[in-house]
Chains A and B, each alone.
Chain A
Amino acid sequence: ETGVTQTPRHLVMGMTNKKSLKCEQHLGHNAMYWYKQSAKKPLELMFVYNFKEQTENNSVPSRFSPECPNSSHLFLHLHTLQPEDSALYLCASSQDVLGRTSGRWYNEQFFGPGTRLTVL
């Protein structure tokens, strides 16, 4: 496997179910992200992990619970979701890069294919 992989690719769940989304990156990156992509809305950053530590929680409801056991794996645990949580959930990873001209650090994010989640 190369790049960023996500499983499952599709998930249908009821509002009382508990499920987990998995993301794995094979790029040796130090940071990982969860994004939510809903129809007709901008990409929403949910969580950021850097060296396994959560550095960003973008006011995400507690029914979404992230877990990052190591720099290569990221999970999103789901419980008692609502129909409006139906969306494409994207995982990304990145490594800091020093700009040769600017001398400033930036990161280039690599995305997985996403998990299409439907909540009934």
Chain B
Amino acid sequence: AQSVTQLGSHVSVSEGALVLLRCNYSSSVPPYLFWYVQYPNQGLQLLLKYTSAATLVKGINGFEAEFKKSETSFHLTKPSAHMSDAAEYFCAVSDLTGTYKYIFGTGTRLKVLA
């Protein structure tokens, strides 16, 4: 069965510092992977996705993620944090059994310190 693990439910970084949010997956076949962001009182917005093309995926708002099969990871990074990046971030893997399900991680809340 597929699963997603997000290490660290809360991450704090200083403004201008590197953002690193961790996501590890478990899947018996090459997965499709997604990062979503949720701002307070809003729905989820897609940041980027991995669909078996380039392993380094660039998304919106300066975020990128690298698919590493050997480490079963899909960590989200941004070189320089901005105050507006404060939000909750969710990693998800697409179910491959044709049932249209996503399996979401438990989320990581990012706090950006001035």
A residues apposed to B, CB below 8 Å: 4, 6, 31, 33, 41-43, 45, 48, 50, 55-56, 90, 92, 94, 97, 99-102, 104-114, 116
Most chain B CB neighbours (cut-off 10 Å) among A43, A90, A94, A114 = A43
Known: A101-B52, A108-B46. A116 touches B41 (CB 8 A): yes
* Residues of A contacting B73 in the complex (Cβ-Cβ under 8 angstroms): none
* Residues of B contacting A99 in the complex (Cβ-Cβ under 8 angstroms): 32, 51-53
Question: Size band of the B side of the interface?
Answer: 20 to 34
Given contacts A56-B101, A113-B43, A116-B41, 19 further A-B contacts (CB under 8 A): A42-B104, A42-B107, A43-B90, A43-B104, A43-B107, A45-B102, A55-B100, A90-B44, A99-B32, A101-B52, A102-B52, A104-B32, A108-B46, A109-B46, A110-B46, A111-B36, A111-B43, A112-B43, A114-B41
Q: Chain B: interface secondary structure?
A: loop
* Residues of B contacting A105 in the complex (Cβ-Cβ under 8 angstroms): 98
How many inter-chain residue pairs (CB < 8 Å) link A and B? Answer: 68
Instruction: Mark interface residues in B15-43 (1 if CB within 8 Å of A CB, else 0).
Output: 00000000000000010101010000111
The verdict on B45 contacting chain A, using a C-beta distance below 8 Å, is yes
* Residues of A contacting B99 in the complex (Cβ-Cβ under 8 angstroms): 48, 55-56
* Residues of A contacting B34 in the complex (Cβ-Cβ under 8 angstroms): 108
**Cα distance A50–B99 when bound, in Å?**
9
A106/B42 in contact, CB under 8 A:
no
Q: How far is the CB of B25 from chain A (nearest CB, A)?
A: 14
Q: How far is the CB of B61 from chain A (nearest CB, A)?
A: 17
Q: Chain A: interface secondary structure?
A: strand
* Residues of B contacting A50 in the complex (Cβ-Cβ under 8 angstroms): 100
Residue of A nearest to B29 (CB): A104
* Residues of A contacting B98 in the complex (Cβ-Cβ under 8 angstroms): 105
Cβ 8 A contact of B94, one of A4, A31, A107: A107
B45/A101 in contact, CB under 8 A:
no
Residue of B nearest to A98 (CB): B51
**Cα distance A108–B45 when bound, in Å?**
11
